[in-house]
Chains A and B, each alone.
With several copies, the nearest count.
Chain A
């Protein structure tokens, strides 16, 4: 198959100047080509970079395609761009973000209820970082502001869409952990049939 190098070049040029993920629809409109053709070409370019072990890669995130450097060269880049901000999110911010990601749209009270602690400061820092935004109000809850995650969130976490979030069920505490917690609060001794002789495994899991 002959490669349409003009189309490939044009797409690469657009990706190169773009400061955000570009959707297939947008590329196809600007270049006046079918979405199918554009889609295929994007896949092909990504595959080419991968196959040739280029220093950059083409990834599909947050509803579009965007060029990134290959993670293998992170250290070199960090040396080169001293000002790179690599500060991580605090544990509190991550927790609040997780609640918003899975429960969106959610009010501040909803976030607080899960975390058991006031999340106001954390919330404004997430908004400031562009990971979370206000999205209307909840009429049923005294017009409280509702929060959702943003496209930047998807991008920073490498997700194509919210559907790609890991299923929350996978992170539910398992039955034994649940039973252990209940028991420690003097609840009805829920069937922990085995002798708790292997405490340590249980305890480690709770941590």
Chain B
């Protein structure tokens, strides 16, 4: 079961993006994308509490924006295509995003029209009074085949499921950082920076959770053969080197 936390008034990454785009002055194209991206990231940054499914949707759009932005800033764009968008050039990625935005906008408009219709219809009430006494006996037996014990089992099962659910919810709450997401983020950081020290990957004032999940992330990347690790001395800062950088240098 998913808890949906409202993120300000946005219904999703496309909604946010549309609002940001609308707010901007029409300007030199390259500056536009940069500003939209920055504003978008700022919003994503401010969302400190929401479910992981929603987060990943927002981050995917953020990543796509970043790629487009990076591509638009660099003369040689070919090296900046992320793993996710293997087959797409930055132009294609941008076109895809724009197309999806336009389709989304269309459905947003038609949803508003549907809402208006529903509102109008909701002012007309059908009869909910049920059958007159004389006819009630003729109604089909909706409980046919259901025993009293069957009913009790259903209720007991529900209460049990709820207990288990509450347990799992607690369990999940203790680990708010997804390893997969964080691994991806570390990998992107390394792609930008090249060689980095572990302490640099942590950022300023890292929480213990961040330290743990970052360590797990580099171990995971190491296992996948994507990075090299070096530690000159016990307790020394770990040096993290992306594999393709090693190959290039």
Direct A–B contact present (CB less than 8 angstroms): yes
Partner of A115, one of B72, B107, B134, B156: B107
Tell me the complex Cα distance, A32–B14, Å. Answer: 49
Q: Whole-angstrom distance from the CB of B215 to the nearest CB of chain A?
A: 24
Tell me the complex Cα distance, A21–B194, Å. Answer: 67
Q: Write the A149-173 contact mask toward B (1 if CB under 8 angstroms, else 0).
A: 0001001111100000110101111
Is B22's CB within 8 Å of the partner chain A?
yes
Is A91's CB within 8 Å of the partner chain B?
yes
Q: Secondary structure of the B side of the interface?
A: helix
Q: Is the CB of A189 within 8 A of B102?
A: no
> Which residues of chain B have C-beta atoms less than 8 A from A152's C-beta?
136
Q: Is the CB of B158 within 8 A of A183?
A: no
Partner of A97, one of B18, B109, B144, B151: B151
Q: Whole-angstrom distance from the CB of B74 to the nearest CB of chain A?
A: 13
Q: A77-B125, A99-B107, A116-B13 are in contact. Are A84 and B100 (CB under 8 A)?
A: no
Binds A, one of B29-37, B184-192, B234-242: B29-37
Is A49's CB within 8 Å of the partner chain B?
no
Q: Is the CB of A17 within 8 A of B106?
A: no
Tell me the complex Cα distance, A87–B140, Å. Answer: 9
Q: Is the CB of B97 within 8 A of A185?
A: yes
Q: Is the CB of B26 within 8 A of A116?
A: no
Most buried by A among B72, B123, B157, B171: B123
Q: Is the CB of A173 within 8 A of B160?
A: yes
Partner of B145, one of A88, A196, A202: A88
Least CB separation from B137: chain A residue: A81
Is A52's CB within 8 Å of the partner chain B?
no
Is B230's CB within 8 Å of the partner chain A?
no
Tell me the complex Cα distance, A175–B23, Å. Answer: 18
Partner of A89, one of B91, B128, B142: B142
Q: Whole-angstrom distance from the CB of B178 to the nearest CB of chain A?
A: 14
Q: Is the CB of B26 within 8 A of A184?
A: yes
Q: Is the CB of A166 within 8 A of B110?
A: yes
- 14 pairs of residues in contact across A and B, judged by CB atoms under 8 Å: A17-B128, A17-B135, A66-B126, A68-B125, A91-B111, A94-B151, A115-B12, A128-B128, A157-B151, A171-B113, A173-B106, A185-B97, A186-B68, A207-B19
Known: A94-B111, A173-B105. 12 other contacts (CB 8 A): A16-B127, A19-B129, A59-B124, A71-B123, A77-B135, A92-B12, A94-B112, A94-B154, A98-B155, A117-B54, A177-B105, A199-B26
